[in-house]
Structure formats: structure tokens, C-alpha cells
Chain A
């Protein structure tokens, strides 16, 4: 259709927000439908920081990418969390900012589209991609709108400036191009790293200060991601096939080294509880299912045994594609992965309430 779409297609750019959908297909549909562009700069996943970094450091190239994608037919919108540094930077540059409330699912693609149409920042049922336009469940018409992650848009301008060969000189044949990764948690130098698929995961962690010998677990992809043991992290390759073998993907580029001073089962439980509280409260399987998952996780962590284990495992089968958005899928993916990693050792441990610390006799004080 146009030269830029052929370039993006040849480069093999995929969305850097986590879904890894081919950008050329999305941008072609956006152009054909004169879709309004929303650039997602929310960094909504736990531990995410890269999209704000793109705005802070490469705003001109980001805007060049926007111009290549929209061909100037509709004023683009930049979605950033309310009162964030990123929102201030965008507003100071004279750009149209969509101020997004500080809720986990608010920065989900269809939440942003709903918010941009005057609705609440809650996910919408997606019968077909909103790049074609559509309807919210209450009947409100939604104009053709496309949401692209800020890093993805920045990469479009880089591909245009530097060419397909430059882009493909990074990464693997299947997952080409540079990609940003935020490495944080229990590291000495939390960092945003220009990386690429196919390198050892440890190279990324080492750039952020390395893995302390006391570290036992490493998270990949935040609350919608997975958990690895430190040994797995030491041998893992940062690419989709490897992450898929552990139940995840590259996600939105987040690596979180877990603090070894905190009980991992508690950290995981806190994340699942947070995820339950962040349900938008629209879809039954999410608004009732995630609190039940959280309760089942806590029951297993405190009373590890065959029954609580089975109940948790059964619960985890009830989330696949049962919400308007993928929030329940993401939290259950994380819980499934955390159970894989933490379950065996919990099952071997002393039950939380069955130690020797319970009162056994009555003493008289008076």
C-alpha cells in the first residue's frame, strides 16, 4: 500500500506492548480505515518503564514515527497516567494527552479507546479489532481507533531512517530488531536496556548490577508474566521460544529480580491479591474468579497439602479467554507459573500454622 508499510513488514517489527502482533498489518488497517492513533505511553504493567523513557529521550523520533503512521489525517493522542512525569513531558511538548487513571487495566488497549471516546477507562468487549470501528457493549459507537505502544512507534521512525538491514542486524530471524527491557527489583542499578531477542537473560541482569547469590527467583513480564528460579534465569535465553517453554513470552520487556528477604509465596500472593483488586468489575469470571484465586493461593500457601493444591490447580483452569480483556488470563498465567516454581517446595515445607509456636497450656498470671 505505501512504502512505510512495506518497510515495516520487511523489518518484521512486532508490537512492543506485549502482544507481539505484526505492526505492518495493524498500521496498514489503520491507514485504510483512517483510524485515530493512540500512542500508549502508560507503562501499565508492574515494573514497566520503557515507554516513558522513549518520551523522555527520543520524543522527536517518536513524533516522526507518529507522522509516518498517521499521514497527518487525525491528531494523535498520547495516553499517559494522570499526573505522571510522562504526561507532563507530553503536555509541555504541546501534544494531546489522554490522562489515564492509575488502575492496572486502565491502560489496556480497549480501555484507552473507551476513555478516548468519553467513556470510563475500562476494557471493552472486542468482537472485531477497533481499528475497523465498532460498538461498546452499551451501544455507544466507537470510531476506528488504533493503539500502538510508544516503543513500537519509535521503532517505525528508526526503520524509516536507518533501514531494514540495520533493524534486522539486531535480534533473531524470528524476532528481529532492538527492543527495550526494564530490569528492576533486587538489583543494584535498575536500568532500561536496549537489548534484542536471543541474548542470555543473565546479560540483561548483569547490566543492571547482576544477580546476588542470595536471589532465588526472577520474574519476567510483571503480573501478566511468569516466574523463573534463579537457576533457570542463569541459563535462559531472552527469546520467545525459551520464555514460552516456561509458560510466558517476552511480554512488555520487564525483568524483576525478586527480593530474597521476602518469602516468595507471600510476594506471589500479594501480586495475585493486587490483580484481583484491579479487576474492572465487569466480567463475572474475573470479578468473582480472581478473588477466589487469591483466596485459593493463600489457602495453599498457609496450608500446603494435596487438597489445597488440587483446589488451586482446578481454579487455575477457569480463566482462559473468559474476560473482555486478558487481565484474568494474565493473572492466572502468573499464578500458574508461580505455582510451578514455588509449589514443590511449599508442599515439602511445614504448614504455616502447624509449627511449635501455638499455645498449648494455660498459665495463671494473677
Chain B
């Protein structure tokens, strides 16, 4: 349990600017563990805590600049 918490604290937290998001769906490819897409391609977050390196790449690759680090 304490190990799990230690790992948790090393994760980055992501957020989505829903106004900017236009449903390209790239985040579902870069963060498949955390992001699913609805029927129109808009992200559904299973969790906002993801490995920092993955988060950085996903933010960089979001074409709408909607994905951000908290």
C-alpha cells in the first residue's frame, strides 16, 4: 500500500481544456491506459495520473493544445 502511494506521487497529473479540445484523439494513442474516446472522439479520462514522460509527450502531441499538465 505504501509502495503504491509512493508510485502514485511520482505520476504527473493531466487536465483537458474542454473548450480547446476538438476530438483529434491523439491522447488516446499516447496515453492508452488513461484515455478512452467517446463516439465522437472526445477523451474520457479513466485517471488523470500518468507517468510524467508519457504525459509530456502527450501534451506536446495534442494538436489542439487542449491537453495540459496540472
Which residues of chain A have a CB within 8 Å of any CB of chain B?
Answer: 123-125, 127, 137, 282-286, 288-289, 318, 322-324
Q: Is the CB of B38 within 8 A of A289?
A: yes
Q: How many residues of B contact A (CB 8 A)?
A: 15
Instruction: Using known A-B contacts A285-B38, A289-B38, A318-B38, determine if residue A324 contacts B44 with beta carbons closer than 8 Å.
Output: no
A137: B residues at CB distance < 8 A: 17, 19-20
Give A98 to B22 CA distance when docked, in angstroms: 31
Q: Is the interface of B mostly helix, strand, loop or mixed?
A: loop
Instruction: Using known A-B contacts A288-B40, A318-B38, determine if residue A283 contacts B18 with beta carbons closer than 8 Å.
Output: yes
Smallest distance from the beta carbon of B17 to chain A beta carbons, Å? 5
B38: A residues at CB distance < 8 A: 284-285, 289, 318
Q: Is the interface of A mostly helix, strand, loop or mixed?
A: loop
Give A93 to B63 CA distance when docked, in angstroms: 49
B52: A residues at CB distance < 8 A: none
Q: Is the CB of B15 within 8 A of A323?
A: no
Q: Is the CB of B18 within 8 A of A318?
A: no
Q: Is the CB of A127 within 8 A of B44?
A: no
B6-47 vs A: 1/0 string, CB under 8 Å?
000000000101111111000000000000001011101000
A-B contact pairs, 19 of them (CB 8 A): A124-B19, A125-B18, A125-B19, A125-B20, A137-B17, A137-B19, A137-B20, A282-B18, A282-B19, A284-B22, A284-B38, A284-B41, A285-B18, A286-B18, A288-B40, A288-B42, A289-B38, A318-B38, A324-B18
A323: B residues at CB distance < 8 A: 18
Picked from B15, B40, B68, the residue with its CB within 8 Å of the CB of A284 is B40
Give A322 to B15 CA distance when docked, in angstroms: 11
- The 7 residue pairs across chains A and B that have the minimum distance between CB atoms: A283-B18, A284-B42, A137-B19, A125-B17, A282-B19, A288-B40, A324-B18
Give A38 to B47 CA distance when docked, in angstroms: 34
Give A288 to B42 CA distance when docked, in angstroms: 10
